[in-house]
Structure 1
Amino acid sequence: MSTLQRFCGPITLFATAIAFTPGSASAHVKWFAPYIVGARPEPVVETLVNQWFWTGIALVLIFFVATRMIEKSRYGQTVIEGLNTVTSPLWRRQDEYIRAIIAAFFVAIFAVGGVYLTPDLKTPAEWVSWIQLVIACCIFSRRTMPLAGIGIVALWLLALRDYDLFHLFDYLALGLGVAAYLLLEPSKNETMRDRRFEALRWGLAIALMWSSLEKFAFPSWFYPLVIEKPFLTFGMPRDVFIPMAGVTEFTLGFGLLWTPLIRRLSAIALLVIFTAAVWPFGRVDLIGHGLIMAILLAVAADQRSGVDLMTVFKRRVSSIPVGLSAALIVFCTSYWGLHVAFYGHDGEVRVDEASKTTHSFDPEHPHGQTEPEHGQQSRDQLGASPEK
């Protein structure tokens, strides 16, 4: 078998896995459709008895196990070397790339204006945008990079004035990961500095796994998108596509924390999915997800061969389903448990805010028009059980 054939085998397997997973799963619903964070979520048992949830889990486990077996085989090093060859130009200038991308992201949201960190975190305070520009400027000097990291955390804390803490959990892990990178990169302590890319990767992985759970807890949030853009489901029924999309996002986020080949192929898979979402959702999606996509590219180019935590455990093939099960238990317990802690068992539905949405009605945000399926939905409607 030639070197090219050895390298292309796992890539073909990876491409096949992607072909069978929902490709537009990554558009963040809070940016494009009305939502009520305090509405009552679907019981977690609804997910656990959903056959399409388990079908998605099975497909991804096959992909992960096959990838790990190849990684352990005599062909694994050939595959890694092939990836290294393709991504080496980026790897050699990884820090410059990450710094430029973070700065570009903050310049972009400064130019857009009216948001804290993402499109759904809107603010009328003009001075917030100037903080974003200052953060971008601080990144160009290693002396001021820590100030940029502190500024990101400050923006998240400022958003607490206008948004519920549970809502902001969506952006906590990624924000902390980026802030940690900016604090660690200029550090003179090499042991600490070596952890900067791990901080980015862990922040992104946790953010993806956390935000994916809204596809199980609040599937009705996604109905306006499916109605308006039915091609997103690739012909699958709505209630088949949404749980499988959630599984795709959660498991590939989990894959970012595993062994080198699994995490690099997971990053490539997520990058394909996020890139595919730009065409139907436009520049709002590109700006909002631009930083995530850039970090995914950095993970795909990461040539480090080690595993940051639980190395022996992660190298065993049998540990993949165990680790994934543990991650699901921890994240689902945290998500539903914290929602109950914040809003109670029945959710928090206030009559005086029954018609409130968080998006203005303009050509870029067409949801919320007068038709029932696009209209301003009440908290009761948004929190209702999905159609059976």
Structure 2
Amino acid sequence: MLPNLPRKLGLGALVALSSASLPVAAAAHVKWFAPYIVDAAPAPIARTLTDPWFWTGIVLVLAFFIATRLVERTAVGETTLDAMDRATNPLWLRLDDFVRIMIAGFFVAIFSVGGVYLTPDLETPAEWVSWLQLLIAAGIVSRKTMPLSAAGVIFLWVLALRDYDPFHLLDYLALGVAVAAYLMLESSGREDWRKHRFEVLRWGVAIALMWSSLEKFAYPEWFYPLVAEKPFLTFGLPRDMFIPMAGVAEFTMGFGLLATPLVRRLSALALLVIFITAVYPFGRVDLIGHALIMAIIIVIAVDHTRELHFWSWIRRALVGVPIGLAGALVIFVTAYWGLHAAFYGTDTRTMAEIRSQQGGMATHSFSLEYPHGPQATATMRQGTDLPQTAPAELDDTSVTDAYAQSMMGMHDEMMAGLEHEDPDVAFVLGMIPHHQGAIDMARIQLAAGSDPENMALARHIIADQQKEIDAMRAWLRERGVEAPGL
């Protein structure tokens, strides 16, 4: 889902600390910006449980929650909530309009970007998907058609299952279902149902943040390229200190969204600061990808509701803070590691093992920069070598041979494809090996070259050419033509 993580205390001071020292990367979904392998075995949970920085983060956040709960029980806490209500009242009175505009705006934005189902890492070559997104946005205009838009959101998630593993899609299940549920409840004529519409959004974002935060504990290696590329994200902290504390920040603030009103709203404000701060270093992709989450976090910060509908006694009790957080950790960790084992088995290799066997490389995939989609699960289970993103060390002679081999292979396949009787099919069958040849040359450059500009160009060639290959193969599949390499 963080990509990850998502995202990676007096009252004002604690909030400021949580948004500054448990930092920006907590809000950046790693899968949008760095290599990853979903079906690699997660790191043993003992690795996290023996990490002192993990426990340091837990202690800091528990102190924040308990201090806030103590204040919330006093007249100062009630006065603080009243002041927040007055400040946010104009938006509270039009909150449904705000939510509907933001949901519609999100789908218009991803329609304009094109090529994705719901988020940047869920890519698709199907153009009609973008037009469905525009219809979803249009359906939100009227309460009568909002249920159709809700069905469209669920359909897009299910549709993505054709191209992506179910475990990968779990990152977005809670949020997608929450948005669809909001649309259904908001369009309902039953007030006893409608009163829960903001609550389902809150639970959806909380679950999404807690689930995606576990990537920082299960797959810290996914974050290494991102931290190396943008070292300022760690605020000078050592990498192995920063990543677990960022994971703690994302998980615990997600948990805080389900707590009592003051804890909930202060957690939302801290998260909003983190998400907004992440927009500058990660750009438009981050802004569009997180637009719905940011909008819902604003809803949580604005929500005047004081009532707690579920487990209210334990959520209000002071002892409920450590008990609730411990329970949430147990539930989510068990679900994450357990479901991963159920989907992929227990005999896959961890990222640390893959990195060591690939000479320190971060990942493998058919796309060097954004390796998503089908993964080499069978290969990993057999323990054989994974495909490399670039050849091993090459001397001057072997570089020449490697270039020659890549060109010969490209030429033979390209000429064979161009012989097809259908000129459109011939063009595509010829272009696929042509693009693959460019990718092979770029990989050789990454292994043997040293010029920074050429290295950057090679990475872009691999990413861009692979996207076009995927689109051409999809075109051939629609016409029942066997594509080379399949």
Could you say whether these structures have the same fold, taking a TM-score greater than 0.5 normalized by the shorter chain as the test?
A: yes
Q: Which residue of 1 aligns with 2:202?
A: 201
Q: Which residue of 1 aligns with 2:367?
A: 357
Please give the secondary structure, in 1, of the residue aligned with 2:23.
coil
Distance in 2 (CA, whole Å) between partners of 1:257 and 1:321 is 14
Q: Which residue of 1 aligns with 2:306?
A: 305
Q: Is the 8 A contact 2:57 2:245 kept in 1?
A: yes
Q: What is the deviation of 1:130?
A: 0.5
Q: Is the 8 A contact 1:340 1:347 kept in 2?
A: no
Letter of the 1:100 partner, please give it: I
Distance in 1 (CA, whole Å) between partners of 2:341 and 2:49 is 19
Q: Is the 8 A contact 1:114 1:125 kept in 2?
A: yes
Q: What is the deviation of 1:88?
A: 1.0
Among the aligned pairs, what percent are the same residue? 60
Output the aligned Cα RMSD.
2.3
Q: Is the 8 A contact 2:137 2:149 kept in 1?
A: yes
Distance in 2 (CA, whole Å) between partners of 1:354 and 1:60 is 36
Q: Which residue of 2 aligns with 1:345?
A: 346
Superposition pairs of residues 279-290 of structure 1, within 5 angstroms: 279-290=280-291
**Aligned positions, number:** 363
Cα 1:192–1:346 change in 2 (3 A) is same
1:157 maps onto 2:158 in alignment: yes
Superposition pairs of residues 296-335 of structure 1, within 5 angstroms: 296-335=297-336
Superposition pairs of residues 232-243 of structure 1, within 5 angstroms: 232-243=233-244
Q: Is the 8 A contact 2:22 2:249 kept in 1?
A: yes
Distance in 1 (CA, whole Å) between partners of 2:340 and 2:18 is 33
Distance in 1 (CA, whole Å) between partners of 2:367 and 2:324 is 38
Q: Is the 8 A contact 1:103 1:137 kept in 2?
A: yes
The structure showing larger relative contact order (alpha-carbon pairs under 8 Å, at least 6 residues apart) is 1
Cα 1:147–1:33 change in 2 (3 A) is same
Cα 1:229–1:42 change in 2 (3 A) is same
Distance in 1 (CA, whole Å) between partners of 2:307 and 2:12 is 21
Give a deviation string over 1:118-158, Cα, whole Å, max 9, x none.
00000000000000000000000010001111100000000
Q: Is the 8 A contact 1:205 1:254 kept in 2?
A: yes
Distance in 1 (CA, whole Å) between partners of 2:313 and 2:271 is 26
Q: What is the deviation of 1:360?
A: 5.4
Q: Which has the larger radius of gyration?
A: 2
Cα 1:354–1:293 change in 2 (3 A) is closer
Distance in 2 (CA, whole Å) between partners of 1:308 and 1:358 is 47
Letter of the 1:55 partner, please give it: T
Please give the secondary structure, in 1, of the residue aligned with 2:290.
helix
Distance in 2 (CA, whole Å) between partners of 1:177 and 1:358 is 33
Distance in 2 (CA, whole Å) between partners of 1:225 and 1:268 is 25
Q: Which residue of 2 aligns with 1:386?
A: none
Distance in 2 (CA, whole Å) between partners of 1:188 and 1:87 is 26
Give a deviation string over 1:322-345, Cα, whole Å, max 9, x none.
000000000000000111111111
Distance in 2 (CA, whole Å) between partners of 1:358 and 1:177 is 33
Q: Which residue of 2 aligns with 1:4?
A: none
Superposition pairs of residues 89-238 of structure 1, within 5 angstroms: 89-238=90-239
1:271 maps onto 2:281 in alignment: no
Q: What is the deviation of 1:14?
A: 2.1
Distance in 2 (CA, whole Å) between partners of 1:106 and 1:358 is 28
Letter of the 1:25 partner, please give it: A
Q: Is the 8 A contact 1:44 1:217 kept in 2?
A: yes
Q: Is the 8 A contact 2:115 2:125 kept in 1?
A: yes
Distance in 1 (CA, whole Å) between partners of 2:83 and 2:446 is 52
Please give the secondary structure, in 1, of the residue aligned with 2:282.
helix
Q: Which residue of 2 aligns with 1:292?
A: 293
Q: Is the 8 A contact 1:41 1:347 kept in 2?
A: no
Q: Which residue of 1 aligns with 2:401?
A: none
Give a deviation string over 1:184-237, Cα, whole Å, max 9, x none.
001111101111111111011001100000010000000010000000000001
Letter of the 2:367 partner, please give it: T
Give a deviation string over 1:345-367, Cα, whole Å, max 9, x none.
1327999x944337459xxxxx9
TM-score, length of structure 1 as denominator length: 0.89
Distance in 2 (CA, whole Å) between partners of 1:186 and 1:156 is 21
Unaligned segments of structure 1, at least 5 residues: 1-8, 362-366, 377-388
TM-score, length of structure 2 as denominator length: 0.72
Q: Is the 8 A contact 1:10 1:79 kept in 2?
A: no
Cα 1:348–1:139 change in 2 (3 A) is farther
Q: Which residue of 2 aligns with 1:71?
A: 72
Q: Which residue of 1 aligns with 2:42?
A: 41
Distance in 2 (CA, whole Å) between partners of 1:110 and 1:346 is 40
Letter of the 2:336 partner, please give it: Y
Letter of the 1:322 partner, please give it: I
Distance in 1 (CA, whole Å) between partners of 2:244 and 2:290 is 21
Distance in 1 (CA, whole Å) between partners of 2:262 and 2:107 is 31
Distance in 2 (CA, whole Å) between partners of 1:311 and 1:360 is 43
Please give the secondary structure, in 1, of the residue aligned with 2:307.
coil
Distance in 2 (CA, whole Å) between partners of 1:358 and 1:255 is 36
Q: What is the deviation of 1:12?
A: 3.5
Distance in 1 (CA, whole Å) between partners of 2:111 and 2:222 is 28
Q: Is the 8 A contact 2:185 2:197 kept in 1?
A: yes
Give a deviation string over 1:297-330, Cα, whole Å, max 9, x none.
0100000111121111111111100000000000
Distance in 1 (CA, whole Å) between partners of 2:256 and 2:16 is 16
Letter of the 1:145 partner, please give it: M
Please give the secondary structure, in 2, of the residue aligned with 1:185.
helix
Distance in 2 (CA, whole Å) between partners of 1:328 and 1:145 is 35
Letter of the 2:299 partner, please give it: A
Please give the secondary structure, in 1, of the residue aligned with 2:187.
coil
Q: What is the deviation of 1:262?
A: 0.5
Cα 1:55–1:348 change in 2 (3 A) is closer
Q: Is the 8 A contact 1:36 1:357 kept in 2?
A: no
Q: What is the deviation of 1:11?
A: 2.6
Q: What is the deviation of 1:81?
A: 1.1
